[in-house]
Homo-oligomer: A and B are copies of this chain.
Amino acid sequence: MPNVPPHVVIVGGGFAGLEATRALARDPVRITLIDRGNHHLFQPLLYQVATAGLSSADIAAPLRHILRRQRNVEVRMAEVEGIDADARTLTLDGGLTLGFDHLVLAAGATHAYFGNDHWAAHAPGLKTLDDALHLRRRMLIAFERAEAERDPEARAAWLSFAVVGGGPTGVELAGTLAEIARRTLRREFRNIDPAQAQVRLIEAGDRVLSSFPEDLSQRAQAQLERLGVKVLTGAPVTDLDAEGYCRDGQRVAARTVIWAAGVAASPLGALLDAPRDRAGRVRVTPELTVPGRPWLHVAGDLAAVESDGRPVPGIAPAAKQMGRHVAANIRAALGGRRASPFVYRDHGNLATIGRMAAVVHLGRLKLSGVVAWWFWLFAHVFFLIGFRNRMVVLLNWTVSYWTDQRAARIILGPAPEVGPRAQIEDAAAQASDSMAARPSTPDASPD
């Protein structure tokens, strides 16, 4: 048998998986990077695609293209269907089986509905580009339906938006939604005033951005309220359907509910036969491996690990650090050296809120408002992959902030996806009735 270099299989082309792949560029290994999509996604800007500020291609790049010069890696677009931890094999969709010497599982996270999976249809979450385009369609169509609706109550329901979950994603989405309603859509409708839209941000805990110090949470809430968001803390959503939600014993009409509350680890974690925490994350050793199986590495949002006695947060910089660390441990193992424990280096915490508003927490430094926003902008644009992406994103944002416009307000895909079909037809029938009854519309008659 020829002398074949060890095979490292990396599952997931997100921050952790891509960083591990790159860190092994000069090592004598063969790498197979498996992802079910064809692209690396710059997830921190995903909310901008959902809110029509950026296009998909602005925040994503094909993995093949990013890695085209790294000759020791083969990129494969496929789904993982099974892992045999001891035989060291992995099965892909279609039945192909790959052997490996080391496996890096970096499959990330998905949204969780805490046992209420039927809510998913009414309150979509935001983890992938397809999720973002779906949210964009829902949001834009809600304003279209409101414009066509003649019944004031039904119209108000279309103009009622709720974001569930006061973490960074929820805060970004709520702030941007308010901005769209108050600024972007101004003057474009004839029957509604988009600024009348209600944007509610619902947080079960007692403050938004709970991973930040308390005073920054307060400042974030004040900035959200200035943008027109109603912030509701201290009680969770208890029910949800296509027409609205219940909270604190009250039913609120809202045709667009967005889920930013729960995160669960990728189901691939369950294939590992290893202990997991409540969110489904794999409880790894300090060396980021599965206990007793040092050839199984877990990195990124899928790994539950502590550093300095505190859990490592599920954010991009932590995922990148884990990816690099896992690569170093693989290198050590192949060289006969011992693996080292992971130490998280906290480079700070950022969250954007909306137009010229953000909060930044960096050690002792706390920023909020315009300064924090500029900090956030440059940090994010700097880390985008690819020169073109940076240029396009900066250009889009420059034009947006001068004109209040958002570039990507294009509805793609099949239109009526807001709730069950029957309800849409009901709403339309009501529109028809009430329009016919409207005295100032002499040319409208019921069919």
Q: A residues near B, CB below 8 A?
A: 1-2, 4, 7, 36-39, 52, 55-58, 60-62, 64-65, 68-69, 74, 76-78, 89, 91, 93-100, 129-130, 133, 140-141, 144, 147-148, 185, 187-191, 387-388, 391-392, 395-396, 399, 405, 407-413, 415, 424-425, 427-429, 431-432, 435-436, 440, 442-447
Contact = CB atoms under 8 A, between A and B. Distances in A.
Contacts of A388: 395-396, 399, 405, 407
Contacts of A415: 36, 77
Chain multiplicity (copies)? 2
A38 B432 CA distance: 20
A1 B412 CA distance: 41
Nearest to A446: B97
A39 to B, nearest CB: 5
19 contacts: A1-B442, A38-B140, A39-B409, A55-B56, A55-B57, A57-B407, A57-B408, A57-B410, A60-B410, A62-B188, A62-B410, A65-B188, A76-B147, A94-B427, A94-B432, A95-B428, A97-B432, A130-B413, A133-B412
Contacts of A36: 415
Given A396-B392, A431-B94, A38 B133 contact: no
B89 A445 contact: yes
A36 B93 CA distance: 38
B442 A4 contact: yes
Nearest to A7: B443
A406 B190 CA distance: 39
A189 B77 CA distance: 12
Contact of A38 (B39, B55, B411): B411
Given A65-B188, A91-B447, 19 more contacts: A2-B440, A38-B140, A38-B409, A39-B410, A55-B58, A57-B407, A61-B409, A68-B188, A69-B187, A77-B141, A77-B411, A78-B148, A94-B424, A94-B425, A94-B431, A99-B444, A100-B443, A133-B412, A388-B405
A410 B56 contact: yes
Of the listed residues A77, A141, A399, A428, the one surrounded by the most CB atoms of chain B closer than 10 A to its CB is A77
Contacts of A410: 38-39, 56-57, 60, 62, 129
Contacts of A7: 443
A276 to B, nearest CB: 25
